[in-house]
Amino acid sequence: MTRPQNLCILGATGSIGLNTLDVAARHPQRFRIFALSANERIDELAQLCQRHEPRYAVVAQAAQADALARRVKPGVTEILIGQQGLERIAAHEETDCVMAAIVGAAGLVPTLAAARAGKKLLLANKEALVMAGPIFMHAVRTHHATLLPIDSEHNAVFQCLPDSFRGDLGGHGVRRVLLTASGGPFRNTPLERLRHVTPDEACAHPNWVMGRKISVDSATMMNKALEIIEAHWLFGAAPEQIEVVVHPQSVVHSMVEYADGSVIAQLGNPDMRTPIAHALAYPERIEAGVGALDLFRIGQLDFVAPDFERFPALRLGYRALREGGTSPATLNAANEVAVSAFLDGRLPFLAITAVIEAVMDELGPRPLAGLDDVLGADAAARRQAGMQVGAMTV
C-alpha cells in the first residue's frame, strides 16, 4: 500500500474544513493531516491540533501563535503566521492535496499558490476563482494542478461529464449546464417582509448548514451568481449555456444536458461530505458518513424557474460574467463588504444587491492582465462599497 496523502486544509475550523476532517479521519490509511489553518477560532484549532497532530498550523497573528504554542505538543506541530504561512503550507513539497476552504477573497493568494505548486486542489473557495478566473485557470494548466470542485453543484456537473472531459463542452456534445439552487430561506417570503429580515433569519438555510457569509449569499442568491461564474471557468461554459433551476429539495445537485437530449443528474442527500469524499478519493469512491438517499421519504422533486425580480443578484452574476475583466472581482468584493455590513446590522437585507450594483456601475469593467489587476479591483470595490454602505446605513 502507498503512503497516506498529506492533506493541507486552508480554513480548517470552518464548515467545509470540519467536514473535510470528518471524512479524512474515517480513512487514516489514505490521508494524513499535514497542515491546518484558522483565522480567529484558536481554541478550535488547538483542539484539532491535539487530535490530528499536523506538522504545521497557521494562524493570522503573532499573539495567536503564542496562545496556540502553549496548547500543542512541542516538536510535533510547527506554528506559522499569516499569508506567508498559508502560502508555505499550500505549496509545501510534502503537501499532496490542498483543501481550499477559506471564505472570501482572503483565500485567493494561498489557493493560487497551491495551483502554482501543481497540487491536487480541492476548491471550495469559489470567490478565488470568481475574482481571478483566467489567472487561476492558467496557473492550473501551466503547473498541471488537478482541480476538483467541492461546491456541490460543480462537483455534480463534474460527475455528470465524461472522464475524458478537458474543458471543451461542445467537443463532448454538451448543450447546457443546469445549476440547481434551493432558492434559500426567502424563496416565498412576501417581498415586503424582506425589508426587515435579520441576519439570523438570513442564515437559517432550509437544507444546508454553512458558514454565515455563504448563508447570506444563498438568501440573496448571490451564491448562485458566483456559481454561474465559477461554472464558466471550471467547465468553459458560455453564459447562455448556464441555466439556473430552482429545486427546493436540494437533492439533485446539478445536471448536464447533451446534444442528443439526454440529461444526466447527480443526486444525494444535502451533505457536503459527499462532494468532499468524491474529490478526496477521486477517481475512487470512499465512505463519507452520509446516509442512503431515501427517495420514498422525499417523494417528490420540484423544479421552478428563478425569479430575477426577487433575486437581482442573479442578473448581476450574468452581467459580471458578460462584462468580463475585473467585473467579477468587483462584484465579489462589493458583495463581501455589503454582506459583512448586513451581518453587523449596518445594512438592510435588500440593500445588499443595491450596493453591489451601484459599485459595478461606478467602477465598470477594466482589463485583467495579472494578479495586481485583481487585487487593485478588489481594493477599489471595497472602498466604493464602503462609501455606498455609509450612504445607506440603517
Q: Residues in the site for ligand NAD, rule: CB under 6 A?
A: 11-17, 38-40, 60, 101-103, 106, 124-127, 151, 208, 210-211, 213-214, 272
Q: Which does 85 bind (CB under 5 to 8 A by kind): ligand NAD, Mg ion, none?
A: none
Position 127 contacts Mg ion (CB under 5 A): no
Q: Which does 242 bind (CB under 5 to 8 A by kind): ligand NAD, Mg ion, none?
A: none
Position 217 contacts Mg ion (CB under 5 A): no
Minimum CB separation from ligand NAD for residue 9, in Å?
A: 8
Minimum CB separation from Mg ion for residue 292, in Å?
A: 22
Position 230 contacts Mg ion (CB under 5 A): no
Position 271 contacts Mg ion (CB under 5 A): no
The interface with Mg ion within residues 132-191 (CB under 5 A) comprises 151-153
215 vs 330 by CB, closer to ligand NAD: 215
151 vs 357 by CB, closer to Mg ion: 151
250 vs 384 by CB, closer to ligand NAD: 250
- Report the 3 state secondary structure along the chain: CCCCEEEEEECCCCHHHHHHHHHHHCCCCCEEEEEEECCCCHHHHHHHHHHHCCCEEEECCHHHHHHHHCCCCCCCCEEEEHHHHHHHHHHCCCCCEEEECCCCHHHHHHHHHHHHCCCEEEECCHHHHHHHHHHHHHHHHHCCCEEEECCHHHHHHHHHCCCCCCCCCHHHCEEEEEEEECCCCCCCCCHHHHCCCCHHHHHCCCCCCCCHHHHHHHHHCHHHHHHHHHHHHHHCCCHHHEEEEECCCCCEEEEEEECCCCEEEEECCCCCHHHHHHHHHCCCCCCCCCCCCCHHHHCCCCCECCCCCCCHHHHHHHHHHHHCCCHHHHHHHHHHHHHHHHHCCCCCCCHHHHHHHHHHHHHCCCCCCCHHHHHHHHHHHHHHHHHHHHHHCC
Which single residue brings its beta carbon nearest to ligand NAD?
Answer: 14
224 vs 319 by CB, closer to ligand NAD: 224
Q: Which does 112 bind (CB under 5 to 8 A by kind): Mg ion, ligand NAD, none?
A: none
x-or-dash pattern for Mg ion, window 13-52, by CB under 5 A?
A: ----------------------------------------
Give the binding site for Mg ion (CB under 5 A).
151-153
